[in-house]
Amino acid sequence: MLALKSVSRHYGQASALDGLDLVVPDDSYVSLLGASGSGKTTLLRIIAGFEEPDTGTISLRGARLDGIPPHKRGVGFVFQNFALFPHLSVEDNVAFGLRYREERPVRDKAEVRERVQTILDLVGLEGLGRRSVGAISGGQKQRVALARTLIAEPKIVLLDEPLGALDANLRERMCDELHAIRQRLGISFLHVTGSETEALLMGDQVAVLADGAIAQMAPPDDLFRSPTSATVARHLNAFNIISGTVREGRLRSPVGALALPAGIAAPDGQPMSVALPYDGISVKPRRDEASDGISARFVTAEFKGPSMLSFFRAADGSLIQSLVHLSEPRPPRYEPDQVYALDFDPELLIAFPERAH
């Protein structure tokens, strides 16, 4: 189990991590979702020991990690840019840790060869051992980087946007393989990414990093079903976040007055945000101005494979997104600059009461 307790890291005035707590259980795949600049790389670097925190403790299986030099931590790291040793062949890259590590280096050449072979087979690089790392493709480099890390039998592997440098097809395949490889080896992976699809697809648990701390950590479906804060919901890129104030059982917001789900009893004047799922909106022809709900002007639409994402601009200028699965009988066509009524079932709303300022 990897445990971080109130870890902070500042660079000058800016703070990258601010009192972060995180637990990565043994034998699990945790993905860490964060926007760019959220400090997710800093977090990994602090766990690996390339940097130290300003405050807080890090422990792995009960032993303190902070203050220990990186090469004595037993933490594997897979870099976004792979960081392969350019002067060595694939085999030598993979064997590097076994040969030269400070503790328990493997001097027996036959053993090194055998273990390299085993791990190359595991990551699907049979027969490529003699190649120069300059002469292989991006996906293969990714596998070499993984094999190089795994052969050293780290207690945990940190992956820093490991799929970022790969093209989309390859990315999906690597996702499955990463999962399979981890399960066979039974060690924990902490996978950092900026892509919510990747995070939800990969993780047994997904942790959302925002404002220098973990906003929520839960299995993907729990996270999706019940995000605990507007921030988390925003990271999932599946909800319109609408903020306002409760008045007479409705949410008065800049985009209009919204009905709240039953069972939400909030006093008047309570500030509140709600998350409205992209796919929970039904678009109707415009209604008269005075009535409830959201009216918005159609801007543009994007096709995302089997679904279509439409963008509407509300009266206050904020964007509202609507997702329609194209399997529905009548794919919608909206007229540009036409105002539509965006209807939804209030029960789909997830409400986040906020503390009054």
Is 169 a binder of other proteins (CB under 8 A)?
no
**If binding is defined by CB under 8 A, does position 149 make contact with other proteins?**
yes
Closest separation in Å from C-beta 70 to other proteins? 4
Among 1, 6, 23, 52, binds other proteins (CB under 8 A): 52
**Applying CB under 8 A, does 100 fall inside the site for other proteins?**
yes
Is residue 74 involved in binding other proteins (CB under 8 A)? yes
Nearer to other proteins, 31 or 149 (CB): 149
Distance CA 252, CA 137 (A): 54
Q: Which stretch binds other proteins (CB under 8 A): 22-30, 149-157, 168-176, 288-296?
A: 149-157
Q: In terms of residues, how long is the chain?
A: 357
What's the rounded Cα separation, in Å, for the pair 321 and 301? 9
Q: What does the DSSP assignment read for 260-294?
A: PPTT----TT-EEEEEEEGGGEEEEE---TTSSSE
Per-residue burial over 247-264, b if 16 or more Cβ lie within 10 Å, else e, is: eeebbebebbebebeeeb
Distance of CA 153 to the CA centre of its chain: 25
Q: What DSSP character marks residue 147? A: H
Nearest one of 66, 64, 71 to 8, comparing CA atoms: 66
Our CB check for other proteins shows the closer of 191 and 235 to be 191
DSSP lists the bridge partners of residue 64 as 59
Least CB distance from residue 35 to other proteins, whole Å? 22
Q: Which is nearer to other proteins, 81 or 183 (CB)?
A: 81
Q: Which of 1, 5, 79, 271 binds other proteins (CB under 8 A)?
A: 79
Residue 47 Ramachandran class (φ > 0 left, ψ -120 to 50 alpha, else beta): alpha
Nearest to 9 by CA among 299, 213, 249: 213
16 burial level (CB within 10 Å; 0-12, 13-18, 19+): buried
> Which region among 96-104, 172-180, 193-201, 286-294 touches other proteins (by CB under 8 A)?
96-104
Of 4 and 275, which CB lies nearer to other proteins in the complex structure? 4
Contact 235, 193 (CB under 8 A): no
Query: Any contact of residue 6 with other proteins (CB under 8 A)?
Result: no
Write down the least CB distance from residue 9 to other proteins, Å.
Answer: 7
Pairwise CA distance, residues 256 & 273, whole Å: 13
For residues 99 and 304, which CB has a smaller minimum distance to other proteins in the complex? 99
Binders in 20-49 for other proteins, by CB under 8 A: 48-49
Which of 14, 35, 37, 50 binds other proteins (CB under 8 A)? It is 50
Q: Which is nearer to other proteins, 83 or 180 (CB)?
A: 83
Answer for which of 34, 39, 76, 280 binds other proteins (CB under 8 A) is 76
Contact between 61 and other proteins by CB under 8 A: the answer reads no
127 is an interface residue for other proteins by CB under 8 A: no
DSSP-derived letter for residue 151 is T
Q: Which residue, 101 or 225, is less far from other proteins as judged by CB?
A: 101
Residue 129 interacting with other proteins (CB under 8 A): no
* Residue 289 one-letter amino acid: E
Give the strand order in the sheet containing 63-64: 14-24, 2-11, 55-60, 63-64
In the bound complex, what is the minimum distance in angstroms from residue 100's beta carbon to other proteins?
Answer: 5
CB of 71 to other proteins, least distance (A): 5
Please report, as ranges, the residues that interact with other proteins according to CB under 8 A: 9, 48-55, 66-67, 69-77, 79, 81, 83-87, 96-97, 100-103, 132-138, 145, 148-149, 152, 154
